[in-house]
Every structure is written in structure tokens, then in C-alpha cells.
């Protein structure tokens, strides 16, 4: 791809190459991707607060083999969820609902590590089941990687 810059007369004076900056996602394989609503539990006001509506992805690093979860808000593409899938702890169903799960993790969405309690809601139970399956698989793989490094 290229774009041109032009002089005052409208004649192009040089051709500029458009460079797409690399991001971490280009070094990862997407294992799961679907739209959802994300909540975090606020300890200050003692209730669930909406964190964003968007696409959640479970990504596997091509270099290390570890899995992480990433979510960006629709329209703004602001990161609202970004952490390695924890090999300790569990993904639990939320209050007898087949479309919602909760879990705890140290999240880096705001640029620094914060322990958060998250809830995620999908449009259909089938999508939620696929998310749970991918999350549990990623959790087991991250545990294997952690255990092999600990030896």
C-alpha cells in the first residue's frame, strides 16, 4: 500500500509507504473469538460494573505457547481485558446462568497489574460453552508450561 503527499499544485512530490505497526496479536494464534459483555466486581461500591462490550479472544503465543485472554471495546478498541489465563483457580458459572462465567485474575488492561474479579456474558449458551472449553484447555496448557519451568 502507498499514499502520496502532494505539493500546492496538486502534483505528488514523493510516494510514502504506509507502515502497519506490529502488535503482540500478530505473534499469536486465536483459539477463541466472539462478542460478549464484560463486568468487573467493584469492591468500593460492592456491585458488578460494566467494563465493556466487544470481542473477547483467547490467544496462544507462537513463541512461548502460553495463553492469554484479550478483549477490546467495540468502536473505541480500548483494551478492557488483558491477562494470562490463570492456571490456578476456576472459571465458574454465574448464578445458574448458562451464558455467564466468573473468574479472578491479575489483569493488565490499564497498563499495570490489578487483581480483578471478572464476569463475562455471551449471547447464546453454545458460545459460552465454547468459551469455557477454550478457557479450560488454555488453563491446562498454561499449567503444563508452568510446571515444566518449575522443574
In a domain, 11, yes or no: no
Count up the domains in the chain and report the number. 1
The pTM (predicted TM-score) of the whole model is 0.81
**75 in a structural domain:** yes
Q: Is residue 104 part of a domain?
A: yes
Q: Per-residue pLDDT tens for 55-103? A: 999 999 999 999 999 999 998 989 999 999 999 989 999 888 899 999 9
Handedness of CA 27, 31, 36, 42 (dihedral sign): negative
Q: Which CATH number characterizes residue 119's domain?
A: 2.30.29.30
- Rounded CA separation 116/51 (Å): 11
- The verdict on residue 79 lying in a domain is yes
Give 124-148 pLDDT, tens digit per residue: 999 999 999 999 999 999 999 999 9
pLDDT of residue 1: 47
Residues of the domain holding 83: 24-150
Which sign, positive or negative, has the C-alpha torsion 18, 30, 120, 36? positive
Q: Is the pLDDT of residue 20 over 60?
A: no
Task: Check pLDDT > 70 for residue 6.
Answer: no
Amino acid at each position: 500500500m502507498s499514499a502520496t503527499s502532494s505539493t500546492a499544485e496538486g502534483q505528488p512530490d514523493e510516494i510514502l509507504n504506509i507502515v502497519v505497526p506490529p502488535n503482540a496479536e500478530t505473534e499469536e494464534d486465536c483459539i477463541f473469538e466472539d462478542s460478549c459483555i464484560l463486568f468487573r466486581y467493584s469492591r468500593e461500591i460492592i456491585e458488578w460494573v460494566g467494563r465493556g462490550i466487544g470481542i473477547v479472544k483467547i490467544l496462544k503465543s507462537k513463541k512461548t505457547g502460553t495463553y492469554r485472554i484479550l478483549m477490546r471495546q467495540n468502536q473505541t478498541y480500548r483494551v478492557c481485558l488483558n491477562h494470562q489465563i490463570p492456571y490456578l483457580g476456576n472459571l465458574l458459572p454465574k448464578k445458574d446462568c448458562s451464558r455467564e462465567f466468573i473468574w479472578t485474575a491479575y489483569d493488565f488492561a490499564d497498563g499495570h497489574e490489578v487483581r480483578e474479579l471478572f464476569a463475562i456474558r455471551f449471547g447464546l449458551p453454545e458460545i459460552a460453552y465454547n468459551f469455557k472449553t477454550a478457557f479450560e484447555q488454555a488453563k491446562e496448557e498454561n499449567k503444563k508450561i508452568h510446571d515444566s519451568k518449575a522443574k
